[in-house]
Homo-oligomer: A and B are copies of this chain.
């Protein structure tokens, strides 16, 4: 089987290196030799050995090369990548991509084009790097109605949160270090504001539930406004704050949301630290399963790219075409459910309220919450943090619709005894 690679960045060089190093075992698994015959990149780089591989600066040469069976798209971004992938499909080639933005935003169109040509578009590497989570969702969990899934799917964000918790450092300070270490981009928006995670979450939701990709409707809230104070209070309450992507299936729609979330410290997800990724999936038959590994990196991502290539090789060898539907379900069995508005989402909430040190305030806050049917799980107030007559009041509520907590917060903020905005962070228990 002959591969053409578009792009020559870290994942491409990782793929070329691994395909060379493990050529024997990979072909032993795939049932045929697998060979990279052409690489297209606007610039030649010296990050891997291209001996025996044709190099071109014209990326369209790769997708139109008659000898190429599978095109591997590793240039990233939306426009050129989309053009290349659609051209490859049009030329009857199978496509493997690590491009989460491309699939999350243009996936519906790309899969429709691929279905017409009966070619595979595989995207394991687009979500959670080397963790075979797309395979788990589309294949391993095929017996299940998947109820929900939640994941730490951005290593940069998790590294920052881990440092904030372990060392009490502030967000901006850790971000600078992450940039110096190469974990974060010069413009960190995609990572820290949850856009990258929303791309991946969108893809997982569709593969899990068989709904079309709906990235535009995803709710994203970043970690850049998160205060170390809240990380510390959460810890005292027995929780860790993680930047989670959460999606949940309801009869009338799906939740699709990325935001900082308190997770009980006993949960394995809470114990996933540093740049690692992890996804927890709840299925009606299997219960909860969890997947953990490197969410990024040259060879870790290449591992997923090559797994897709081997899947295609195994199918081609026995004369099969598209084996697993693009989003897990046959296209005529997909369900076009809407994304539910955040007001409809049910969650527990962590609240931090800066209040007068006055015994009557708690009663007033509790009464506002109670009027909205919101139960309080715990309250923490630290006399030691009294400052100019004000004291932070930390609360954890039971589960309630977001519309109700927002209404309660508006009333609380209107109290004269309260200063500034109420800090509100969602909390999930993921009980089995």
Interface residues of A (CB under 8 A from B): 14, 18-19, 21-22, 24-31, 124, 129-132, 135-136, 138-145, 210, 268, 271-272, 283-294, 297, 299-300, 302-307, 310-311, 314-315, 318-325, 328-330, 333
Q: Report B-chain residues with C-beta under 8 Å of the C-beta of A27.
A: 333
* CB pair B143 A139 closer than 8 Å: no
* CB pair A288 B284 closer than 8 Å: no
A142/B299 contact (C-beta < 8 A), A286-B294, A293-B289, A320-B315 known: no
Q: Report B-chain residues with C-beta under 8 Å of the C-beta of A131.
A: 289
Question: In chain B, what residue has the closest Cβ to A281?
Answer: B293
Q: Report B-chain residues with C-beta under 8 Å of the C-beta of A142.
A: 26, 29-30, 306-307, 310-311
* CB pair B293 A287 closer than 8 Å: yes
Shortest beta-carbon distance from A289 to chain B in Å: 4
The 6 sampled A-B contact pairs (Cβ below 8 Å) are: A22-B145, A26-B142, A26-B143, A28-B329, A132-B141, A288-B294
How far is B30's CA from A28's CA once the two chains are assembled, in angstroms?
Answer: 27
* CB pair B22 A284 closer than 8 Å: yes
How far is B283's CA from A286's CA once the two chains are assembled, in angstroms?
Answer: 26
* CB pair B311 A139 closer than 8 Å: yes
* CB pair B283 A303 closer than 8 Å: yes
* CB pair A322 B330 closer than 8 Å: no
* CB pair A143 B323 closer than 8 Å: no
Shortest beta-carbon distance from A207 to chain B in Å: 11
Q: Report B-chain residues with C-beta under 8 Å of the C-beta of A292.
A: 268, 289-292
Q: Report B-chain residues with C-beta under 8 Å of the C-beta of A288.
A: 293-294
* CB pair A285 B14 closer than 8 Å: yes
Q: What 16 additional pairs, Cβ within 8 angstroms, besides A22-B145, A25-B329?
A: A19-B143, A29-B210, A29-B328, A29-B330, A29-B333, A30-B142, A132-B139, A135-B136, A144-B303, A268-B292, A285-B306, A287-B294, A290-B291, A290-B293, A315-B318, A315-B320
Question: In chain B, what residue has the closest Cβ to A124?
Answer: B140
How far is B126's CA from A150's CA once the two chains are assembled, in angstroms?
Answer: 27
How far is B127's CA from A161's CA once the two chains are assembled, in angstroms?
Answer: 35
